[in-house]
Structure 1
Amino acid sequence: MRKVVLLLVAMLVALPMISCKEENPKNDLTTETAEILSLENNDLALAEVDIEDSISEDRYRYITAYSGLSLREYANLQSNRLAKMPYGSRVKLIQPEAERTMTVSGIAGGMDMVEFDHRSGYAFNGYLSRYFPPEQDISVEGYANELSKVFPEVTFTKTNGGTVSKPTLTETISLPGAHWHEAFFIGQRLYEFPKEFEFPLPAGKDFQLIKDSKPKRDLWVSQLEITRQDDQLQKIEYIYSSAKYSNRVSIIEKEGAILITRTEVTK
């Protein structure tokens, strides 16, 4: 009798195990694999979003002040300076200041909250640009091509004209949404305006002429001409010429964009 009882107990214990073995093992494997794949796909989707966010240029600004720009502790120019951000540095825009609360060197703006070198603070947005500044010695066309990779709305045109004895070359870069001071600093870098030529104040005489006090040895003319109307800038021109050529670099606003145009006449 004891042997019979032990046999019955053994059969009862083995029965669930046999039942489990009879289930389709492929279903268990498929379910587990599906869960893993689902998790991997979700991770990949999140990674793609993060990558897109990280390369969005709207989140970044570039320092356009030649002497650098101060990162302040608070949103005023008298607060403690946390760091000095060099010309051309890229900073992360955390919170822009929509209102124009101050004017610095003729540029109206406010204090944007930015991040630089793992520090958060405030910087005057008159010297912050969404367009990265041109590298030294880069051509206008090369710079426009680099910009258009990030900002497809940026355009560049180049045309030849004039006569056989006096051929002309005209090149124009269009910067949609740019401010006057942004375009001035870009033009100054591309065409080597003398650094003593500061961004002209919007308010002033309808026409103003500023001559280069220390022109290069081979230049006959080097001067800045400003045209205004009702204390608003209409045109900024840098004119320089030598025995071999004459150049006129014009900055104007047209249809929501700032155009920088250089016309060169070979003598």
Structure 2
Amino acid sequence: MVKRISFIPALSSLLTFLSSIIIAPTDKPLQVNDIVYVHASSSLTLRKTASKDGAKITSVPANGAPLTVVSLPEPGSSYTAETIGSFAVKGGWVAVKTRDGQEGYLFDGYLSRYKPLQRDNMDGSVSLMDTFYRTISPVKGKRTTLPATNGTIERYQYLYADGARFEEQYYEGGATQLLELPKEKFTMQEVLVLFRTAWFGKEKTKGTYDAAKQQLTIDSDGGYSQLIIQPKGNRWSLKFSTAD
């Protein structure tokens, strides 16, 4: 009798392994030789020493140019670069090398392994947040149309391989983009830094923080665009709104 060999356990193990690669958090602490990018509305100052008072070497623009991590911050060192109410953007000073070979220290709170959204290359007919998140995780499946609700003209969603979900809602006179992110993949600071820049670009913003709700609200200076970030179970809930 011919003995049948089952490949199901092996296949299952392979799929589990591949899934762990896809959805494993990538914003773990930086390591030497990592390639990182600036996520800020303006440039960061590359300094000779690991301090906000260090002599300026040059300005590093938020243009998607790669930086190589040379050394990590001193253990226990911490610098607060920004506060929104009681919410603080903190980090250390990491030594980096620029593409043209200059070395110095940058505040790492505005650095990420993810590339920033290249807004200048977009034609305005695509969704900002869906476009950006596809650089973080691939789409899983096809676009799904959702039933209209609460005055929407059109609703649809995309799911991503890491478990994130994107929804776009169109209204008369505006649109809303919703993004739900796996909480284990990002800290709230990372969410703020990545998506504030992706959404507002170089536009000046102002923000508030509701500590009781753990809710960050970021508004454009012109008042036409808004980003709200808050926890929702095991996810981060992001709401991007704009008015015509």
TM-score if structure 2 supplies the norm length? 0.55
Secondary structure at 1:140's aligned position in 2?
Answer: helix
C-alpha separation in 1, matches of 2:176 and 2:41: 29
Instruction: Point out the structure with the larger helix share.
Output: 1
| Aligned residue number for residue 147 of structure 1 | 136
- Give the structure, 1 or 2, with the largest relative contact order (CA under 8 Å, sep 6 or more): 2
Cα distance, 1:145 vs structure 2: 1.2
* 1:86 pairs with 2:61: yes
Task: Work out which of the two has the higher radius of gyration on C-alpha atoms and give 1 or 2.
Answer: 1
Percent of aligned pairs sharing the same letter: 16
1:192 maps to amino acid? F
Whether the aligned pair in 1 keeps the contact of 2:41 and 2:202 (CA below 8 Å) is no
Whether the aligned pair in 1 keeps the contact of 2:42 and 2:61 (CA below 8 Å) is yes
* 1:70 pairs with 2:56: no
For 1:157, which of 160, 166, 182 is the aligned residue?
Answer: 166
Equivalent residues in 2 for 1:237-252 (5 A)?
Answer: 237-238=217-218, 249-252=227-230
Secondary structure at 1:146's aligned position in 2?
Answer: coil
Whether the aligned pair in 2 keeps the contact of 1:63 and 1:128 (CA below 8 Å) is yes
C-alpha separation in 1, matches of 2:45 and 2:174: 46
Deviations, residues 91-111 of structure 1 (Å, cap 9, x unaligned): 112222253422122322110
| Aligned residue number for residue 105 of structure 1 | 82
C-alpha separation in 2, matches of 1:255 and 1:145: 23
1:129 maps to amino acid? S
Deviations, residues 114-133 of structure 1 (Å, cap 9, x unaligned): 11121222111122123222
Equivalent residues in 2 for 1:2-151 (5 A)?
Answer: 59-88=34-63, 89-97=65-73, 98-106=75-83, 107-116=89-98, 117-136=100-119, 137=122, 139-148=128-137
Q: How many positions carry a matched residue from both structures? A: 174
> Is the deviation greater in 257-266 or in 91-100?
257-266
Cα distance, 1:63 vs structure 2: 1.0
Cα distance, 1:86 vs structure 2: 0.7
Deviations, residues 215-252 of structure 1 (Å, cap 9, x unaligned): xxxxxxxxxx53113xxx81123468xxxxx9763212
Secondary structure at 1:105's aligned position in 2?
Answer: strand
Gaps in structure 1 of 5+ consecutive residues: 1-56, 201-224, 241-245
Whether the aligned pair in 1 keeps the contact of 2:165 and 2:181 (CA below 8 Å) is yes
Equivalent residues in 2 for 1:213-252 (5 A)?
Answer: 225-229=208-212, 234-238=214-218, 249-252=227-230
Gaps in structure 2 of 5+ consecutive residues: 1-29, 84-88, 139-159
